[in-house]
Amino acid sequence: MQYGLTEEQEMIAATVRSFVENEIYPHEELVERTGEVPREIADEIKRKTIELGFYACNFPESVGCAGLSHLEFALVERELGRGSMALNHFFGRPQNILMACEGEQVERYLMPAVRGERMDALAMTEPGAGSDVRGMKCSARRDSGDWVINGTKHFISGADHADFLIVFVATGEDQTPRGPKKRITCFLVDRGHPGFTIRDGYKSVSHRGYKNMILEFDDCRVPDAQVLGEVDGGFEVMNTWLYATRITVATMSVGRARRVFDYALSYAAEREQFGQKIGKFQGVSFQIADMITEIDAGDLLTLAAADRLDKGLPANREIASAKLYASEMLARVTDAAIQIHGGMGLMDDYPLERFWRDARVERIWDGTSEIQRHIISRDLLRALGA
């Protein structure tokens, strides 16, 4: 990794950071209290993001977007990570898997998505299939030239605001020496399509207002034109397009950890007990030292993984390491920040308890910490034939 950021990259990060501080922070309290993002606020964030040319900045110039590199986009997401996920959902970053759109799909899905006219959400997880994606039961069968989808998806983030869903379902099964293996196909399904229902999911302790929804498919009939990529090619589109987006959780964890750290640092510098600033006690100051060291490590690990993506180098293990380390680092940092705040850290007068709650999901979604460790170790051991 070539070390250091260019002036432009610094400016991209500074601009997003100042956007988050000025356009997102002021609404956070309302979202925390009500669990909802009012329509007007959502629309305003979206409008401003479009005006600034940041909407869909993860998409290439060929579709009229900024075409940021992986590293630059990681900086954008890192700074967004400081703010409420429910709000910065409208600082739109559509799933880049939409680049797989072909023919009329381009005008129906890709272009409206990058212009901020239609929002997407991505559905893989099912009640019976989380880490084990191939265990999915939601399936589509052929019926007089169409596909008929049946089954349930849950935990689908952003589906409450989605105009269409990117859904992975089973379209068959192959017998292999290691047992049966599902064939997966990716479909684009519009909100309101007959046989397709989006309903409220569970109340989550993390990220209030950023809802997870349940999708139900009941004899939902769609034509071939709704297949994204090839029939039975779900894993190929997944691997081509979702590979890089796994870095998102890592970058956001780093940004949020920095925000939390700043609260802890200033509290340690101001709060007095036993006649002096608590930051003077080694018990507190050493926590501060460990926090910033871990945050910097997470930052560098994440940017280095993004840099590998830009250079076209293998990054599977590096992305997994970044996701694993940054999400677990965030858990430790938010916990220490509460400790430094003493009892007040738990009270909702301060945002610390919220960051502590929010941190919990980062070790679970987008591949649990265990699955990341599995990816990392397999990458190393498989090469040695183990």
Q: Do 189 and 160 contact (CB within 8 A), yes or no?
A: no
Burial of 203 (0-12, 13-18, 19+ CB in 10 A): exposed
Q: What are phi and psi of 89, to 5 degrees?
A: -60, -30
15 binds, among ligand FAD, other proteins, none (CB under 5 to 8 A by kind): other proteins
Q: What is the DSSP letter of 222?
A: E
| Least separation in angstroms between CB 22 and ligand FAD | 27
Q: What is the smallest separation between the CB atom of 89 and ligand FAD, expressed in angstroms?
A: 11
377 part of the interface to other proteins, by CB under 8 A: no
104 lies in the binding site for other proteins (CB under 8 A): no
Binding partner selected for residue 57 from other proteins, ligand FAD, none, CB under the kind-specific 5 to 8 Å limit: other proteins
| Under 8 Å between Cβ of 169 and 232 | no
Regarding 8 and contact with other proteins (CB under 8 A), the answer is yes
Contacts for 347 with CB less than 8 Å, ≥ 6 apart: 353
The whole-angstrom separation of Cα 51 and Cα 69 is 20
Stretch in the footprint of other proteins (CB under 8 A) among 34-42, 45-53, 152-160, 161-169: 45-53
Regarding 11 and contact with other proteins (CB under 8 A), the answer is yes
| Element at 221 (helix H, strand E) | strand 212-222
Q: How far is the CB of 75 from other proteins (least distance, A)?
A: 11
Which among ligand FAD, other proteins, none contacts residue 51 (Cβ within 5 to 8 A by kind)? other proteins
Nearest to 3 by CA among 101, 71, 82, 92: 71
Residue nearer to ligand FAD on the CB measure, 112 or 201: 201
381 binds other proteins (CB under 8 A): no
Residue 211 CB, nearest approach to ligand FAD (Å): 9
Whole-angstrom CA distances from 206 to 203, 275, 288, 333 are 9, 37, 24, 16
- Please report how close the Cβ of residue 240 comes to other proteins at its closest, in angstroms: 25
Residue 10 binds other proteins (CB under 8 A): yes
Chain residues that interact with ligand FAD, rule: CB under 6 A: 122-125, 130-131, 155-157, 204, 212, 271, 273-274, 278, 281, 283-284, 339-340, 342-344, 346, 361, 364-368, 370-371, 374
Closest of 198, 186, 32 to residue 100, by C-alpha: 186
Strand blocks (E) in 10-125: 120-123
Among the listed residues 1, 5, 63, 66, the single contact to other proteins using CB under 8 A: 66
Which among 280, 281, 290 is positioned nearest to 332, based on CA atoms?
Answer: 290
Report the alpha-carbon distance of residue 303 to residue 321 in Å, rounded. 12
| Residues making contact with other proteins (CB under 8 A) | 6-8, 10-12, 15, 18-19, 51-54, 57, 66, 68
